[in-house]
A and B are shown apart, each in its own frame.
Chain A
Amino acid sequence: QSALTQPASVSGSPGQSITMSCTGTSSDVGSYNYVTWYQQHPGKAPKLMIYDVSKRPSGVSNRFSGSKSGNTASLTISGLQAEDEADYYCSSYTSSSTVVFGGGTKLTVL
Chain B
Amino acid sequence: QVQLVESGGGLVKPGGSLRLSCAASRFTFSDFYMSWIRQAPGKGLEWVSYISLRGSTTYYADSVKGRFTISRDNAKNSLYLQMNSLRAEDTAVYYCVRGQYSGFYWGQGTLVTVSS
**A binding-site residues for B, Cβ under 8 Å:** 1, 3, 34, 36, 38, 40, 45-48, 51-52, 57, 87, 89, 91-93, 96-104
Contact = CB atoms under 8 A, between A and B. Distances in A.
Contacts of A40: 45
Interface of B: 35, 44-47, 50, 59-62, 95, 100-104, 106-109
A34 B102 contact: yes
Given A1-B62, A98-B59, A91 B45 contact: yes
Given A40-B45, A91-B102, A93-B101, 10 more contacts: A1-B62, A34-B102, A46-B45, A48-B104, A87-B44, A89-B44, A89-B45, A93-B100, A101-B44, A104-B44
B102 A102 contact: no
State the main secondary structure of chain A at its contact with B: strand
Nearest to A101: B45
Contacts of B103: 36, 38, 46, 48
B61 A98 contact: yes
A104 B40 CA distance: 13
Across the A-B interface, the 3 shortest Cβ-Cβ residue pairs: A99-B47, A93-B101, A51-B102
Contact of B109 (A45, A52, A98, A104): A45
Contacts of A45: 95, 106-109
A47 B46 CA distance: 15
Nearest to B35: A99
A98 B44 CA distance: 17
Nearest to A3: B44
25 contacts: A1-B62, A3-B44, A34-B102, A36-B102, A38-B103, A40-B45, A45-B95, A45-B108, A46-B95, A48-B104, A51-B104, A52-B102, A57-B104, A89-B44, A89-B45, A91-B45, A91-B101, A91-B102, A93-B100, A93-B101, A98-B59, A99-B101, A100-B47, A101-B47, A104-B44
